[in-house]
Structure 1
């Protein structure tokens, strides 16, 4: 987890002061609500950046205390007769705008997602740590593409100004 935090800072994704871990009391509160032992990489995430992982999950309710809301969101989704989400043997740790929930399952090291209106559970990664790295790499790639597009747009604007078209 320290390596991921360092990579995030190195890439300009955030500053060291942006990354804030949960307190031992908060981690104990989280683990007390789980029906099974949570994976070590999830616990390491909580310790290193569980309260604030910079902008890694911008737009998604994942940092502490979002896990409290995630279970409620999952319960709301599961009440709908058209949904196939079950609550047993799952630890819901995050959500996105009340229609997507992220969770861990008993007997599986993977990270899963359920989206309202889509009856299939999606496996996002083989482990929580892998999911974090994948999320970081995907976000970094998007940021780099946005920077490239910004440079291209500015180049075209300069060309149009030079040609008197702007």
Structure 2
């Protein structure tokens, strides 16, 4: 049992480090910001939970496909200029990261549609998990640059304050 935990921890740690060193981190954060903005916009006059979930998924796909299209054009232009370009799987992975970043809060609205949580709870979870994700990535990014725990918490706090200010601002104007 202890060996299985160690193997799982090693696998998890290696996977997390690989993810953090990829371009996907920026794409997930970008997608999370788009998703958070969409959630905040819909919260003022909330449609049915299923429509919120569908809007998040559709927006994730639209933004992700726009990202993919623009990256493919950029790859082709760089290749045509004689530059070496990376493998297509990296671009596709980055696209999936954007889609997941935008669409992730849909999980809460699917749960609300199924009657597992209230609509207000779905909106609260969507907002605060987005905030937590942005703060967590900021903390981990600071740690990877060699910052200590205290400095990394300051970085995470700064990112969280910016995201919380967006939530508070949106709440004040509605």
Structure having the higher Rg: 1
Hey, which of these two has a bigger chunk of helix by percent?
Answer: 2
TM-score (normalizing by structure 2): 0.26
TM-score (normalizing by structure 1): 0.26
Hey, which of these two has a bigger chunk of strand by percent?
Answer: 1
- Larger RCO: 1 or 2 (CA < 8 Å, sep 6+): 2
